Amino acid sequence: MTPAFSSWQAFFAMGGYAFFVWLSVIVTLIALSGLVLHTVLQRRRLLTAIQQQQARDRRIRAAKQKNHATSAGDQP
């Protein structure tokens, strides 16, 4: 098996198409990085929203129990 490029300089030159090749690599990496960042931020927001909803549900449940206990104590 022979190497595709004879030197590192030839590798970086990409047979005269270096500008287009490396521009494509950079654009792809930026797009993938953006997707990863978006996914991480969206996950954080989703987990925060879930925690807030669970806390709200706990508060509502506690208020209902307290209200039920109070109204049951008032009944003869």
What tens digit of pLDDT does each residue of 5-61 get? 889 999 899 989 999 999 999 999 999 999 999 999 999 999 999 999 999 999 999
Q: Would 2 be classed as within a structural domain?
A: no
Q: Would 27 be classed as within a structural domain?
A: yes
Q: Which domain holds residue 26?
A: 8-72
Tell me the C-alpha distance between 43 and 72, whole Å: 43
pLDDT at 62 over 90: yes
pLDDT at 66 over 70: yes
Query: Would you state the structure tokens that stand for residue 48, as one six-digit string?
Result: 């925060």
Residue 3 pLDDT level (bands cut at 50, 70, 90): confident
> What pLDDT is attached to residue 2?
75
Q: Would 30 be classed as within a structural domain?
A: yes
Give φ, ψ of 17 to 5 degrees: -110, 25
Number of structural domains the chain divides into: 1
Q: Would 3 be classed as within a structural domain?
A: no
